[in-house]
Amino acid sequence: MTIVCFGDSLTEGYQSSRDGGPGFTPYGQWLREWLGKRGTIWIRGVCGETTQQMKERFPSDVLALHPGYAVILGGTNDLGWGLPAKMVIKNLVWMYAEAQSHGILPVSVTIPSLGGLGMPGSISSYRPALQSRVEVNEALKTYCQMKQIPIVDLFSVTCDPQSQELASEFSDDGLHLTELGYRTLAHLLWNQVFKSRLENQ
């Protein structure tokens, strides 16, 4: 089994720690541990990238590796810069289709929510940014169901069910995930996508 984990800082595993400087705990490290000698994991995350920038390196960082699977998580930075949700959807769908055309099964991950929406001056203080995430995620769910693409709903699992904000146990800064958040994503991918496929190989 060969898997590329592809995306932005949420794939690179950027972690803003209240106890010190930033660290990196990519979710792919747990997939690598659980997969062991039965396959290969490549982690191809770049902090700060938009989905357009992801598209530009998709051939070299995904297609050139000839993986069986490509986990694709992007859009956080686009929406943070106020880019249209439709553009994010278009770019992500392009990556899914490009992967499929090269015999790679894409695995979609919904964009997680934001925390601290009620804090003035916070990077995540604008409610429309949350609504944009919901719009993108609902569109991805519909597309993936139609195209029979696996999709893992990171948004729902890590948000507060009432406010829909990113729950504090999953994020220190309201944007990036804690180690628990990244490990939760790894468990979702393993249990919902990869474990059964590995057993059936």
Q: What is the mean pLDDT of residues 38-61?
A: 97
Whole-number pLDDT of residue 127? 66
Q: Which CATH superfamily is domain 2-199 in?
A: SGNH hydrolase (3.40.50.1110)
pLDDT digit string (tens) for 135-170?
A: 999 999 999 999 999 999 999 999 998 888 899 899
Cα dihedral 155, 159, 164, 169 in deg (nearest 10): -150
Task: Examine the pLDDT at 125 and tell me if it is beyond 90.
Answer: no
Domain residue spans of the chain: 2-199
Whole-number pLDDT of residue 15? 83
Q: Do the bridges between strand 2-7 and strand 14-15 make them parallel or antiparallel, or are there none, so unpaired?
A: unpaired
Whole-number pLDDT of residue 105? 98
Whole-number pLDDT of residue 19? 52
Stretch among 15-24, 26-35, 40-49 having the lowest mean pLDDT = 15-24
Whole-number pLDDT of residue 76? 93
Whole-number pLDDT of residue 126? 54
Q: Of 159, 127, 140, 125, which is closest to residue 88 (Cα–Cα)?
A: 140
- Please list, in sequence order, all residues whose beta carbon lies within 8 angstroms of the beta carbon of residue 128, skipping any fewer than 6 positions away: none
Task: Examine the pLDDT at 130 and tell me if it is beyond 80.
Answer: yes
| Average predicted confidence (pLDDT) for the chain | 91
* The one-letter amino acid at 152: V
* Calpha distance 144→71 (Å, rounded): 13
Stretch among 41-50, 86-95, 163-172 having the lowest mean pLDDT = 163-172
Task: Examine the pLDDT at 21 and tell me if it is beyond 90.
Answer: no
Task: Examine the pLDDT at 17 and tell me if it is beyond 70.
Answer: no
Q: What whole-number percentage of the chain has pLDDT above 70?
A: 91
Strand pairing partners for 73? Answer: 7
Task: Examine the pLDDT at 129 and tell me if it is beyond 80.
Answer: no
